[in-house]
Chains A and B, each alone.
Chain A
Amino acid sequence: MKKSDARLISRGLDGSLSPEERQRMDALLAASAEARATRQAWEALGDGVRDHAARHPAPDPALAWQDIRREIRRLDAERQDAPDAGWLFRFRVAGAVAALVVIGLLGLSAWRLLEGPGASSFAATPLSERVEWVIAEVPGASTMIYTDPETELTVIWMDIAQIHDPRDS
């Protein structure tokens, strides 16, 4: 097939033939089996290219450049972080432990303010917890137990005024 015939077929597939050239191409295709086969092969090739282009569109140059710059920044960041990754991890763990300890201390302090010794806890603590039991072992003595919330004293008092101690004389 002559080069001019191939160019005619190619321009015919592009749809850029004049009416006269169109008549010449139709005559060529009618007369030459090789021309028809060539045109059919080129049509299939064109369909394949168009199909591929439809499935894989060409990227927007601006978006493609943004992707490239983003990838460069990511790689730079990884390179900078890599040598200190262990230090950073340890620092974060230590920070977390310290934070937990501080939270624990604050919680313990708050708990002790509410539950620990103090004016409020003294009043809240029943007498039975401050004095479980008392036995006056001096014959004839009696005991009194009382608390004073203001001074936070718990008093166990033996009334043995009438008991005579020889060493007192």
Chain B
Amino acid sequence: MSTSTTPRIPTAPLAPVAIPRRMSPRRWMAEIGWRHLVGLAAMAFAVFPILFVVSASLNPLGTVSSSGLLPKAFSLVHYEALISGSRGPFLQWYLNTLIVCGVVAVTQVFLSTLAAYVFSRFRFAGRRIGLLSLLLVMMFPAILAMIAVYTMISDLGQVIPVLGLNSLPGYIVVLLGGSLGQVWLIKGFFDTVPKELDEAAIIDGCSHWQVFTKILLPTLTPILATTVLLALVGVLSEFLLGSIFLTADDKKTLAVGLYGLLQGDRSNNLGVFAAGSVMIMIPVIILYQFLQRYIVGGSTAGAVKG
């Protein structure tokens, strides 16, 4: 991973390197045209499930058998059903998900940033061991210990009810177990900022906290925001712990709620499920398009999406 911790932000596509003369059609086909054919095929493969979701969400019948790639009819009934809550408290799920994902992603990245700052800028006993054990611990699949986490949280709920089972704060603190997950990634970002910057600030009388908040954080804001977004989409897909912890209908997240909706009556709830998916997917896709250049950098640096 070390070889790639530096974000590799690709240079903007170069302007076409002068096309001196027009190629003959046959030559064009052999050199470039076939590339477009491959590209179009790949685009078709990439897009068809997304098209399917959109068209299923608009198909008034809302069954698997009647849904195809292109909508046969246009209707917003499924969106209405979702918003009105007749198939489950969808808006509540949406809100729960926003809360969980927002809090977890921001806290995770913030705590990782704190730790990454120390690992990047300070030299102290146990630093090397700390960094390496972090790498090791983060590789262990936390969900394997789900039984233990379940009993722990059920016990904690007896002392502090708000942190128990079937409560969003309880679920959130468990997910915060991954709080140091982005340390290596963010340490890579910190390492790219020249040390001379903070040394100058220290000479000017800044404390270590001021160096962190006034010098380094502002420099790294865009890439940290992207890291938050990637973490957010990761949390969005957390399903296993959610399905064990959040059983009450009004406590569910979208992943748990929509899964239940689809499992409950797959043939008839597809339309509603698709409408719900569109309402989650479209904002994320648009955000990704805007942040494309940062995401490319962030993903090369070793963030694997869940």
Q: Do A and B come from one complex?
A: no
